[in-house]
Amino acid sequence: MLENFPFYLSLIVAILLLIMLANKIKVAYPVLLVLAGLVISFIPGIPAMHIDPELIFIIFLPPLLYEAAWAISWKELWRWRRIISSFAFVVVFFTAMSVAFTANYFIPGFSLALGFLLGGIVSPPDAVSAGAILKFVKVPKRMSSILEGESLMNDASSLIIFRFALIAVATGQFIWYDAALNFGWMLIGGVGTGLLIGWVFMKAHKYLPTDANSDIVLTLVTPYIMYIAAEEMHSSGVLAVVSGGLLLANNRHLFLSSTSRLRGTNVWESLCFVLNGLVFILIGLDLPEITADLDGVSISSAIGYGVLITLVLILGRILSAYAAVVVTLIARNFITVADRRNPGYKVPFVLGWTGMRGVVSLAAALSIPVQLANGAAFPQRNLILFITFIVILLTLLVQGLTLPYLIRKIHIPDLDPTLPEEELDNLIRKQLAEHALLHLRTNYIDQLDDHPALQQMALKWENNSRLADDVLMAEECKAVYLDILNQQRIWLHDKNKAEETLDEEIIRKHLQHLDLEEEKLRFL
C-alpha cells in the first residue's frame, strides 16, 4: 500500500486534469475518467488494482448519497413523488426482470436466479453521470428534478433485488413470503433508522456547544453511522442515508449556524468531487481483474452478451418512460397528479435515454462471493463482472456522449413556464429588500432614528445595493441586523413552500447570500 502511495497521488492529479479537460471540451467527466482508467490499466508496470466492494459500499456510497440528499429540493421531490417512485422501484424491478429472462434465454448456463442477480446489478442508472452531462445542456426543471429524485432511490431497490437473487443462487430456493417480509423490513427499517439517527444528530448539532469545525466533522460521520446501523439491522443502508439526509437538509437552517453551512458546503463539494473522480477512474483500472477469467467464455461472446444486456436496458427504460406517461394520463382522471398535461413523446424518450450505469453496479458485481457456502465456485461470477463492465462502458459512451446532442436536437418543451432566471432573481431581491425594510421600520423605529448604521441599512435596502464595507456597527445594531436576516430567511422559506412552481435554486441562492451577509458582521 505505502509503496503505491505516489501512484494514488498521481491518480488524483490525473483526475483533476481530466475533469478540467472534460469541462473544456464539454464532455461528461465520467466518460473521460473511465476511458483514462482503461488506458492506464494497460501501461506496463502499473500496480494491479483490486477494488474491494466494501470499500465502495462503506467508504464511497454513504457520503455520495448524503451529499445528493442535501443538494436535492424536497419540494420538487415531493411534487414528482409518483413518477420518481415509479422509476426508482417499478422501473428498476421491470428492468431487472427483463434482464433476467433475456440472460436466462440467451446466455448458456444462466439460470433465472443468476439472471435476476445480473438484473439487480445493472438496473440502477448512475446519478453522477446524468448530472455531469446535464450540466452542459439546459433541460426543463421537472426533468432534472425527476432524475435527481430517481437517483436517490433506485440504488436501494436494485440492491434489494440483488440481495434476494444472491440468496436464491446460494440456497437454490426462493420463498416469496419471506422475501416480501424482508423487503418490507428493508424499506421501513431503512427509512426509520435514517430518520431516527438524523433526528439524534440534529439535536446534537443544536444543543451541544459545537462550532463550525465540529459541525462539519459531525456531518462527515453522520452518513456512515446511518448506513452501518441500517445494514447491521439487515435493512437498507441506502434508504437510511437518503431519508436521514433529507431530514437534516430540510432543517439545516434550524440547527446549523451560517458559518457551518457555508464552510460545510465547501468541504462537501470538494470531498464528493474527489470521490466521484476516484470511483470512475477505478472502474477503468479494474479491467485486468475483470477479464482475468471468463469461465471458458470467449471475449467476443462475452462482449456480445454485454451488448445484448445493454440493449435490453436501454429499450426497457425507454418503454418504461412511455408507460409512466400513459399511467399518469389515465390516473389524472381519478387522482390529483403533479401535472395533468400531456408531456408529449420527447420528454419520456429523453428520460429513457438517461440510463447511464456506474459505480453502484460495479460494486454490486464485485461483492458477489467467489465461492458458495459448500465451497463450490460461484457460477458465472466473472462473466457477470465482465457483462457489468461492458454495460457501464457502453452506456457511458453511447448514451453519455449522445445525450447532450439529443437534448439540443429535439428541443424539449418547458411545461413549467416561469420568468427568466435573471428576472425572477431580481424580483426576489426586490421583494426580500421590501420585506426587510418593512420589518425594520415596524419593529425598530426607535433604533432607526438613533443609529446612522441602521439608517444606512434602510438606505441599502431601498436602493437594493450593498452596505458600505467601512460601516462600524454597534453591538445593538448587529443584533437588529441579525434579527432582520433571520426574518428574511423565514420569509424565503415561507415563499418557497407557498409557491409550488418557484425554482428552489433561486431561493437557495438568496439564503446563501444571507449567510454571507451574516458572516460579514464578524469583521465589522
| CATH classification of the domain holding 354 | 1.20.1530.20
Same domain, 385 and 472: no
Same domain, 45 and 132: yes
Beta-carbon contacts of 328 under 8 Å, excluding residues fewer than 6 positions away, are: 82, 83, 337
149 vs 154: CA distance, rounded Å = 9
End-of-domain residue from the set 354, 386, 410: 410
CA angle 84, 88, 94 (to 5 degrees): 125
Same domain, 457 and 369: no
Same domain, 306 and 428: no
Same domain, 137 and 255: yes
DSSP 333: T
Is 345 part of any domain? yes
57 vs 241: CA distance, rounded Å = 12
248 vs 195: CA distance, rounded Å = 9
Domain housing 385: 2-410
Same domain, 374 and 425: no
Model confidence at 2: pLDDT above 70: no
End-of-domain residue from the set 384, 410, 436: 410
Beta-carbon contacts of 286 under 8 Å, excluding residues fewer than 6 positions away, are: 37, 41, 49, 50, 51, 362, 366, 389
Interval 229-252: pLDDT, tens: 998 998 888 889 999 999 999 898
End-of-domain residue from the set 379, 410, 441: 410
The number of domains in the chain is 2
Go through 372-405 and write b for each residue having 16 or more CB atoms within 10 A of its CB, e for each that does not. Answer: eeeeeebbbbbbbbbbbbbbbbbbbeebbeebbe
Is 415 part of any domain? no
Q: Which amino acid is at 68?
A: A
Window from 67-71, 133-137, 140-144, 319-323 with minimum mean pLDDT = 133-137
CA distances (Å), 441 to each of 194, 444, 480, in order?
A: 44, 6, 11
Half-sphere exposure of 294 (CA within 13 A, CB side): 20
Window from 117-121, 289-293, 393-397 with minimum mean pLDDT = 289-293
Beta-carbon contacts of 15 under 8 Å, excluding residues fewer than 6 positions away, are: 33, 274, 277, 278, 281
- Provide the sign of the torsion angle of the four alpha carbons 189, 192, 196, 199, taken in this order: positive
> What pLDDT was estimated at residue 243?
93
- pLDDT band at residue 466 using 50, 70 and 90 as cut-offs: very low
Model confidence at 299: pLDDT above 90: no
Is 103 part of any domain? yes
Window from 7-11, 140-144, 158-162, 276-280 with minimum mean pLDDT = 140-144
Is 260 part of any domain? yes
5 vs 11: CA distance, rounded Å = 10
142 vs 412: CA distance, rounded Å = 11
80 vs 73: CA distance, rounded Å = 11
Same domain, 441 and 491: yes
Asked whether 87 and 146 are in contact (CB, 8 A), the reply is: yes
Window from 41-45, 248-252, 343-347, 454-458 with minimum mean pLDDT = 343-347
pTM: predicted TM-score of the whole model, two decimal places = 0.78
Mean pLDDT across 142-162: 80
3-state secondary structure of 46: coil
Model confidence at 293: pLDDT above 80: no
3-state secondary structure of 371: strand
510 vs 432: CA distance, rounded Å = 9
280 vs 112: CA distance, rounded Å = 30
- pLDDT band at residue 257 using 50, 70 and 90 as cut-offs: confident
Same domain, 378 and 486: no
Asked whether 343 and 83 are in contact (CB, 8 A), the reply is: no
Same domain, 298 and 433: no
Rg (CA), the chain: 25
